[in-house]
Chains A and B, each alone.
Chain A
Amino acid sequence: MLKEKTADVVSGSLLLIIAFVMYASLPKAGETVIAGTDLSLAPRLVALLLGVLSAVLLLRGLYAFRSGRVSKAAERIAHPYRLVGTAALVVAAALLFEPLGFAPTAALYIFGQNFVLCYEPGEFRPLRAAIVAIVAAAVIWYLFTQWLSMPLPSGIL
């Protein structure tokens, strides 16, 4: 289980890297001066501030490790496989949204997500899940395209 001090060290390090990358990718001071105003000043300040705050967080975590301070547990992920499955399904849905089309992607996603989220394997009812998936996808498609005149990717259909 992730302890708070571990979480601080990990997140502080990651954020420090992000702040460094952000600062490095911005134009240098004086490169974007228009009418006497440096237009990259604000993002540079934000990157610096993020760097300083992340460094403080990192140091706080390291100090807690060195002093042996007991820290409370960070949020627990009890079902990592279910989380990975959900993330994979959401990414797949975003990936297939345009090439496969909205309706088939939505139906497949709802069916798959229903399966992944079921709390006990025996509880999953494939027929009910399939009906819910197809009906929900069709209703949402109809609502958005026909009623609200919002074009959705038709894909293979």
Chain B
Amino acid sequence: MFETMLAGFYSAFALDCLLLIAGGVALGVMFGSIPGLTASMGLILCLPLTFSMTPLNGISLLCGLFIGGISGGLIPAILMNIPGTPGSVATLFDGYPMMRKGESQKALGAAVVYSFLGTLFGIAVLSVFAPMLARFALKFTPYEYFAVSFFALALISSVSSGSMLKGFISGVLGIAIAMVGMSPVGGIQRLTGGNVDLQSGFLMVPFLVGLFAISELFHNAGAGFSKATMIQKDFRMRGIGIGIGDFVRNIRTFFVSSSVGTAIGILPGIGVSTASIMGYLAAKKTSKRQDQYGTGVVDGVVASESANNACIGGALVPLLALGIPGDTVASILLGALIMNNIQPGPLLFITQGELVYGIFTSLVIASFCMLVIVLLLMRVFIRLVQTPKNILMPIVIVMCLVGAFGVNNRAFDVWSVVMFGGLGLALRTFGFPLQPAVLGFILGPIVETNFYRALTMANGNYSEFVLRPISGAFLAAAVIFILLPVVGPVFARWRDSARPGIPKP
């Protein structure tokens, strides 16, 4: 056992493997930082290159791309309010407000450091508990998937700032937009109006890019640049951006959101964007400063980046231990393994132990490479953001449009970006928060799919949802979270009026 681990460790430290990991991370960061390009696109483009490599070299390159791609998304999220990848969507909730407050260096530093630590957390869980956790994840049926995702959806009020009613409306609007197209079960056309392009629904990249990037452009154009905001000059990067005090203060947040991120990663079919949002919500709900989340606190950035990177290790748990790919990236990794005649599954740890431990070591090396590369690149991006906005923004928008087009090579996605940009501006103008719409768009289809699957399994019997322990517990928690904002103030008013000596308002 120990010799196998050592052999895997040594094979990952071969020069060609190290270079491939570093190259993969650099390329991944580039993919992540360009709005519209995603980590999975990078993996698909590089997959053919791995056919001529040894299994470990090929997987190491792809793992580097995966880690770099997820982490690279934090840069445009913080500096431009554009999620570089769907996984970095929760980073901009606090990252961009921090940038506007002149705390971009702290936001970037915290994001990179906790991305690194989050990745290591996920890898540690993967290395130690993979087979056990994979077996546990298999016990999750559509009832549990429905309950967990419904619970996350019930937290919509937590991500909204300002009016709770408008937050709920924004979330429901996000769910409604995700419902356009073919139904996930049964293949029934909904809300398409006979339009062929709408049959496959709206994709996540055009939705996010439009809602945030294009609406930001519209907003800036409408608000007008002043000489003070035309060129951002308050960027100074000292050290790694985050001080010891902030680092120590956020360790608890890191553990909460990394645990949630890893757990979401282990569950097949949920994905990194959900992990990021749920990690953020969990950290907010357990924080003493939860009312400050969304206004530009470093805790929010730490929560999102820890969760989305911890999800990487989690996503590899069912892949390596059971041969079940949890998301698109895991499917590509599975393809790469199968191309090399390696069948992932419970026996992989016994028959290909050296490879498995080589992959674990590659992941650790890739996280160190990511830390160094992103810290170096941050300075370049900070210089880039100092370009006058009238020059920078049109170029970013063109890249967003190309990225949206590149998902499926169809002009419809470019139109979707424009349409969602208009929607984003309308929501902002009328005072609706954008974050709940994202939550609704991401979680809506997961809730709906598993609702139908579970209902079909139960022959239409709704009681099954509450009778199963995990499902019942999550649904009960969801009901509490939905009712709390309504019942809470009423209860507080009743308590105050019942208490003698306190004057009634």
Contacts and interface: CB of A to CB of B under 8 A. Distances in A.
Interface in B358-407: 389-391, 393-395, 397-399, 401-402, 405-406
A146 interface: no
Interface string A7-29: 11011000100000010011100
Interface in A13-62: 15, 22, 25-27, 32, 34-37, 39-40, 42-43, 46-47, 49-50, 53-54, 56-57, 60
B218 A46 contact: no
Nearest to B172: A50
A49 B172 contact: yes
Contacts of B173: 15, 50
Closest 10 CB pairs of A and B: A113-B394, A83-B222, A117-B390, A86-B221, A11-B430, A79-B224, A77-B222, A110-B394, A39-B186, A36-B460
Contact of A37 (B218, B432, B455): B455
Interface residues of B, number: 65
A116 B173 CA distance: 31
A110 B395 contact: yes
A150 B406 contact: yes
B448 to A, nearest CB: 5
A119 B221 contact: no
A112 to B, nearest CB: 8
A144 interface: yes
A40 B182 CA distance: 11
Contact of B176 (A22, A56, A76, A91): A22
11 contacts: A11-B432, A34-B186, A47-B176, A53-B172, A97-B411, A98-B411, A110-B395, A117-B221, A118-B390, A119-B224, A140-B395
A64 interface: no
A98 B165 CA distance: 41
A77 B221 CA distance: 9
Given A80-B222, A82-B221, A42 B451 contact: yes
Contacts of B426: 11
Nearest to A48: B172
A87 B401 contact: no
A37 B452 CA distance: 7
B421 interface: yes
A140 B456 contact: no
Contact of B398 (A42, A79, A136): A136
B218 A50 contact: no
Contacts of B409: 150-151
Interface in B415-435: 415, 417-418, 421-422, 426, 428-432
A76 B223 CA distance: 7
Interface residues of A, number: 70
A93 B391 contact: no
A148 B398 contact: no
Nearest to B221: A86
Contact of B169 (A43, A53, A91): A53
Nearest to B217: A86
A35 B456 contact: yes
Contacts of B428: 75
Contacts of B456: 35-37
A6 B451 CA distance: 38
A8 B369 CA distance: 50
Contacts of B429: 2, 7, 74-75, 77
Contact of B190 (A10, A40, A90, A153): A40
A82 B225 CA distance: 10
B106 interface: no
A106 B398 contact: yes
> Which of A87, A109, A140 gathers the greatest number of chain B CB atoms within 10 Å?
A87
Contact of A119 (B230, B395, B432, B451): B230
Given A25-B191, A133-B394, A150-B402, 9 more contacts: A37-B452, A37-B456, A50-B173, A53-B168, A74-B430, A86-B218, A90-B421, A102-B402, A151-B409
Contacts of A40: 183, 188, 190
Contact of A42 (B179, B214, B411): B179
A87 B430 CA distance: 18
B1 interface: no
B398 A110 contact: yes
A98 to B, nearest CB: 5
B222 A46 contact: no
Contacts of B230: 119
Contacts of A50: 169, 172-173, 176
Given A11-B432, A36-B459, A97 B448 contact: no
A118 B185 CA distance: 50
B499 interface: no
B394 A109 contact: yes
A114 B172 contact: no
Given A25-B193, A32-B188, A46-B176, A79 B421 contact: no
A133 B225 CA distance: 20
A83 to B, nearest CB: 4
Contact of B188 (A27, A76, A117, A144): A27
Interface in A111-155: 113-114, 116-119, 129, 132-133, 136-137, 140, 144, 148-153
Contacts of A37: 185, 452, 455-456, 460
Contacts of B223: 76-79
A43 B414 contact: no
B414 A87 contact: no
A85 interface: yes
B175 interface: yes
Contacts of A151: 409
B226 interface: yes
Contacts of B432: 11
A146 to B, nearest CB: 13
Contacts of A53: 165, 168-169, 172
A136 to B, nearest CB: 5
A75 B399 CA distance: 28
